[in-house]
């Protein structure tokens, strides 16, 4: 006990036995001290009470421990259940997305057996479904292009949704082929247009130097070409932090951000193409430039699928108005041969010769973006395939799972 008046803990009070006043006025102990020789242990009743108390404490302790274990178990079970649910959704979404890739590849292979021309057919939205009858897909030309225009082609699968986008990589300028003079000129014209019309206006690095920098980055040697204005290996070694140049084909467009002169604004302009809408419909990233196939030569641009900016870049004499005319024309009358195109739109004989080996009306390489959505979980698989109709199969050039 604590002595409040003195503030001093008094052990004498604690150790004193309770005393009862006696009738004669004296005091005696409430519990008489055991007399020597009779009993030296505690009173049996006190012992029983002590044991009962101890048992109660043990029971309370065990019950508390059990409660803790049960709460922990319930919590773990809930976590496990959620994980199992999330895993099941993830597996379903992946399977749907993977199935979408196979379906799109089959569609493209089916198309290659039907003809040697690739173009954008009338979009899905333009078909009249009000009568309840679906158009016969085997009779629609270029059915794959439904997934290449406007919103992604989506379809319910079980309790999920599949959304597919297909892009024609042959409608873009292949940056892995800038070693070829003619492709380099096309890329140069595209970059010049982008620089002069985007936020990059008045940029310090000329378009030609940007294209040359891609060339030096990929050309496999450390010497700057005599006709090149681009950055070579020593430029990157002088940066802080420094890094080596790739000296090999570009694996992805995001690599451009490492190349000398490419600012975030220029990169964004390349990815967005002809506006935010263009970016939305592209399966791989940019509607204007590609890195597929990764071979260094031989690519041709499909004039039926190339966007206006790419068409305009095909020759220095071409203008935005001319490119728009082509886009309007091909909506109703896709080009069945390059002669078709050249005779209609390129009156100058020298320009015709220049374009002869650069353009095509068919495509080999396509990118597919396939998304499986189950509940709040989405998985996207992006692939690039090349059609090999002679072997009745597609070759896989790129495969990436996102989400």
- Least separation in angstroms between residue 347's CB and Ca ion is 28
Q: Is 29 exposed, middle or buried (0-12, 13-18, 19+ CB in 10 A)?
A: exposed
Scanning 43-51, 210-218, 276-284, 318-326 for contacts with Ca ion by CB under 5 A, the matching segment is 210-218
Q: Within 10 Å of residue 219's Cβ, how many Cβ atoms? A: 22
Degrees, nearest 5: CA angle 107-173-250:
90
- In what helix (H) or strand (E) does residue 210 lie, and over which residues does it extend? helix 207-218
Name the minimum Å distance from CB 148 to Ca ion: 11
Minimum gap (Å) between residue 317 Cβ and Ca ion: 29
Q: Of 193 and 386, which has the nearer Cβ to Ca ion?
A: 386
The CB-of-94 to Ca ion minimum distance in angstroms stands at: 29
Long-range pairs for 192-195: beta carbons < 8 A, 24 or more residues apart = 193/309, 193/312, 193/313, 194/266, 194/269, 194/270, 194/309, 195/266
- The backbone torsions φ and ψ at residue 385, rounded to the nearest 5 degrees and listed phi first, read -125, 155
Pick 248 or 320: Cβ nearer Ca ion: 248
Residue 49, Cα to own-chain centre: how many angstroms? 71
Instruction: Look up residue 298 and give its two tokens.
Output: 């031989």
Looking at the Cβ atoms of 111 and 312, the one nearer to Ca ion is: 111
Q: Which residues 75-134 are close enough to bind Ca ion by CB under 5 A? A: 111, 118
Cβ distance to Ca ion smaller for residue 91 or 258: 258
Could you tell me the smallest distance in angstroms from the CB atom of residue 232 to Ca ion?
5
CB closer to Ca ion, 246 vs 315: 246
Q: Which of 169, 200, 216, 312 binds Ca ion (CB under 5 A)?
A: 216
Record the tokens describing residue 87, joined without a space: 């895993």
Question: Which of 118/272 has CB closer to Ca ion?
Answer: 118
- 217-246: contacts with Ca ion (CB under 5 A): 219
**Least distance from Ca ion to the Cβ atom of residue 245, Å:** 5
**Rounded Cα–Cα distance for residues 281 and 274 (Å):** 11
Q: How far apart are CA 207 and CA 262, in angstroms?
A: 10
Q: How far is the CB of 155 from Ca ion (least distance, A)?
A: 21
364 near Ca ion (CB under 5 A)? no
Count residues binding Ca ion (CB under 5 A).
4
Q: Rule CB under 5 A: which residues touch Ca ion?
A: 111, 118, 216, 219
């Amino acid at each position: 006990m604590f002595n409040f008046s003195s503030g001093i803990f008094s052990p004498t009070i604690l150790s004193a036995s309770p005393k009862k006043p006696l009738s004669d006025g004296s005091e005696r102990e409430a519990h008489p001290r055991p007399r020597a020789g009779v009993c030296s242990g505690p009173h049996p009743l006190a012992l029983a009470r002590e044991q009962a108390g101890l048992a109660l404490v043990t029971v309370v302790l065990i019950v508390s421990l059990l409660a803790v274990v049960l709460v922990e178990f319930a919590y773990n079970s809930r976590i496990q259940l959620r994980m199992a649910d999330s895993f099941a959704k993830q597996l379903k979404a992946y399977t749907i997305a993977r199935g979408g890739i196979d379906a799109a590849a089959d569609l493209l292979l089916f198309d290659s057996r039907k003809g040697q021309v690739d173009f954008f057919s009338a979009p899905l939205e333009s078909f009249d479904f009000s009568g309840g009858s679906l158009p016969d897909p085997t009779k629609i030309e270029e059915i794959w292009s439904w997934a290449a225009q406007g919103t992604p082609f989506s379809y319910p699968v079980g309790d999920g949704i599949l959304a597919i986008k297909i892009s024609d990589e042959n409608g873009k300028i292949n940056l892995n082929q800038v070693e070829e003079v003619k492709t380099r000129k096309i890329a140069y014209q595209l970059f010049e247009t982008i620089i002069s019309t985007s936020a990059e206006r008045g940029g310090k690095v000329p378009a030609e130097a940007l294209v040359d920098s891609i060339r030096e980055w990929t050309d496999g040697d450390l010497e700057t070409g005599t006709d090149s204005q681009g950055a070579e290996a020593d430029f990157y070694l002088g940066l802080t932090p420094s890094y080596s140049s790739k000296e090999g084909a570009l694996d992805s467009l995001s690599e451009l951000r490492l190349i000398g002169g490419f600012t975030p604004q220029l990169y964004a302009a390349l990815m967005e193409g002809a506006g935010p809408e263009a970016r939305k419909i592209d399966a791989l990233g940019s509607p204007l430039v590609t890195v597929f196939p990764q071979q260094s030569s031989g690519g041709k641009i499909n004039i039926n699928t190339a966007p206006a900016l790419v068409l305009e870049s095909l020759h220095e004499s071409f203008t935005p108005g001319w490119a728009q005319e082509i886009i309007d024309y091909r909506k109703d009358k896709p080009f069945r041969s390059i002669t078709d195109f050249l005779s209609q739109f390129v009156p100058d004989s020298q320009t015709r010769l220049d374009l002869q080996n650069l353009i095509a009306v068919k495509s080999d390489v396509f990118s597919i973006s396939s998304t499986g959505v189950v509940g709040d979980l989405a998985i996207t698989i992006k692939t690039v395939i090349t059609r090999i109709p002679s072997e009745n199969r597609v070759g896989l050039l790129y495969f990436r799972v996102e989400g």
